[in-house]
């Protein structure tokens, strides 16, 4: 396929998905959101926490109900391959789906209807037939949730230095280690754990295992509260956990490539997410700038405010254009191939850093336009400002993205002077 044939438009499959998603928001999500509001336990975006600092169980259960219903409606896993029961959409199509979902859900319960960190991911598609039946199919149906367990208390960016390890014992593996900063640590039914199986073997030193949350030796640790304040991030401990051979994902030694596949999926999702939320914030900024008065006229009549609005639009448009252009190229290269095409890491990192930095500026301006109301705890602008600040660290910090971009550029030109 030549570059000239790249199509970044909205396909019939996307139009069908978004039409069904819109109806799902009205028919299924809106009543659940009303029921949740009546319980006085916070909202999906601003949940109350339980005594251990975890997301309030009623809020978690409302999200789970949305996930189960979205799974039953075939809306939850459009990004997974059709061969495992997903929607089989391309990355360009997923940009449009994600943009639609984030723009139309805002900070509501509807966001739970599209698989996120807790859902089925491209890496787990490499599991065995037995694990597919036990974990992947229920994940795609929204019946269970997962957690991706890579980071440790002492190791984040420096993935190959992790200390969690697994040793073969007959056909099984025995897993030991301590993971930290894991999203969905408190509730996941299955843990997708990356561990060392061949020390010193570089990018072949790691393997990925599926650990059932009921396995003896597995223990959920403390909540690690972050500025997201959602009660979802915590620690996990594995002590002599026996993992059957059928729960190895891919081959032994594939762990680094599989971890990168999971991480790259999250990086690619930034494009649609930022365009969707960015436009949602822009809509809100436009409405507010028409209502709020200063000096006897709406603040939207002031050039200072108009420029903040224009800068939001410029950042959203630029980041969206980057996402669509790059996701189209990745569709050609194979976004989740193992091994990954050598040009893909630089492209994925460009997508992430441009979107992370643009969205951070967008949320900052959204706060500014709303004045004190933008800073008010619990306002959408304040929440998304915190989200945007957060996004620049997980799934690879912005510095790590710069490393990958420079590495990709310099690689073919010999060592840097």
Ligand X SMILES: Cc1cc2nc3c(=O)[nH]c(=O)nc-3n(C[C@H](O)[C@H](O)[C@H](O)COP(=O)(O)OP(=O)(O)OC[C@H]3O[C@@H](n4cnc5c(N)ncnc54)[C@H](O)[C@@H]3O)c2cc1C
Q: Which stretch binds ligand X (CB under 6 A): 151-159, 234-242, 292-300, 359-367?
A: 151-159
When the beta carbons of 94 and 391 are compared against ligand X, the nearer one is: 391
Q: Tell me the CB-side half-sphere exposure of residue 353, using CA atoms within 13 A.
A: 17
Give the one residue of 110, 156, 272, 380 binding ligand X; rule: CB under 6 A: 156
Burial 62-84 (b: 16+ CB within 10 A, else e): bbbbbbbbbbebebbbbbbeeeb
Q: Does 280 bind ligand X (CB under 6 A)?
A: no
Is residue 323 exposed (0-12), middle (13-18) or buried (19+ Cβ within 10 Å)?
Answer: buried
Contact 210, 243 (CB under 8 A): yes
Among 93, 394, 401, 404, binds ligand X (CB under 6 A): 394
Confirm or reject binding of residue 169 to ligand X (CB under 6 A).
Answer: no
Per CB under 6 A, which region of 40-48, 58-66, 148-156, 204-212 contacts ligand X? 148-156
Between CA 372 and CA 353 the distance in angstroms is 29
- Give Cα separations from 377 to 33, 223, 373, 381, 383 (angstroms): 21, 22, 9, 9, 8
Least separation in angstroms between CB 183 and ligand X: 3
The single residue among 67, 134, 145, 150 that binds ligand X, judged by CB under 6 A, is 150
The whole-angstrom separation of Cα 347 and Cα 338 is: 16
Considering only residues 21, 102, 116, 148, which one is a binding residue for ligand X as defined by CB under 6 A? 148
The minimum distance between CB 405 and ligand X, in angstroms, equals 12
* Segment 111 to 140, residues that bind ligand X, using CB under 6 A: 117
CB 182 within 8 A of CB 153: no
Question: What DSSP state is assigned to residue 293?
Answer: E
Helices (H), 234-343: 255-268, 270-291, 303-333
Residues 374-393 that bind ligand X (CB under 6 A): 390, 393
Relative to beta strand 146-149, strand 190-196 is parallel
Instruction: Pick from 11, 163, 226, 317 the residue near ligand X by CB under 6 A.
Output: 226
The contact pattern for ligand X, residues 336-355, with x = CB under 6 A and - = no contact, is --------------------
User: Minimal distance in Å, beta carbon 211 to ligand X?
Assistant: 14
Footprint of ligand X (CB under 6 A):
117, 148-151, 156-157, 181-183, 226, 228, 233, 390, 393-394, 396-397, 399-400, 403
């Amino acid at each position: 396929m030549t570059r000239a044939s790249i199509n970044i438009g909205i396909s019939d499959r996307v139009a069908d998905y978004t039409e069904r998603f819109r109806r799902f928001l009205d028919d299924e999500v809106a009543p659940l959101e009303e029921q949740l509001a009546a319980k006085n336990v916070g909202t999906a975006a601003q949940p109350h926490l339980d005594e251990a600092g975890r997301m309030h169980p009623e809020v978690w259960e409302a999200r789970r109900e949305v996930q189960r219903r979205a799974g039953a409606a075939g809306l939850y896993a459009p990004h997974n391959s059709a061969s495992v029961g997903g929607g089989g959409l391309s990355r360009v199509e997923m940009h449009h789906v994600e943009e639609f979902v984030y723009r139309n859900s805002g900070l509501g319960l509807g966001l739970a209807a599209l698989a996120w960190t807790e859902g089925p991911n491209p890496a787990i598609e490499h599991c065995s037939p037995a694990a597919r039946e036990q974990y992947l199919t229920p994940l795609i149906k929204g019946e269970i949730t997962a957690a991706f367990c890579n980071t440790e208390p002492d190791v984040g960016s420096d993935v190959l230095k992790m200390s969690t390890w697994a040793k073969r014992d007959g056909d099984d593996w025995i897993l030991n280690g301590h993971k930290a900063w894991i999203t969905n640590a408190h509730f996941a039914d299955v843990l997708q754990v990356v561990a060392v199986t061949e020390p010193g073997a570089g990018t072949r030193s790691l393997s990925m295992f599926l650990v059932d949350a009921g396995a003896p030796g597995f223990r959920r640790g403390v909540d690690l509260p972050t500025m997201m304040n959602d009660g979802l991030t915590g620690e996990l401990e594995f002590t002599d956990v026996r993992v059957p051979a059928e729960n190895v994902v891919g081959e032994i030694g594939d762990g680094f490539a599989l971890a990168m596949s999971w991480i790259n999926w999250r990086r690619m999702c930034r494009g649609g997410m930022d365009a969707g939320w960015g436009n949602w914030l822009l809509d809100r900024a436009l409405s507010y700038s028409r209502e709020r008065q200063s000096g006897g006229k709406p603040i939207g009549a002031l050039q200072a405010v108009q420029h903040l609005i224009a800068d939001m639009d410029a950042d959203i448009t630029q980041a969206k254009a980057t996402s669509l252009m790059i996701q189209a190229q990745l569709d050609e290269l194979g976004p989740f191939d193992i091994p990954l095409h050598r040009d893909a890491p630089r492209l994925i990192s460009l997508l992430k850093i441009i979107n992370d930095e643009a969205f951070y500026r967008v949320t900052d301006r959204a706060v500014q336009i709303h004045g004190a109301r933008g800073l008010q705890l619990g306002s959408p602008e304040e929440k998304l400002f915190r989200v945007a600040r957060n996004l620049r660290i997980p799934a690879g910090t912005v510095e790590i993205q710069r490393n990958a971009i420079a590495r990709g550029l310099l690689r073919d030109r010999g060592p840097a002077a």
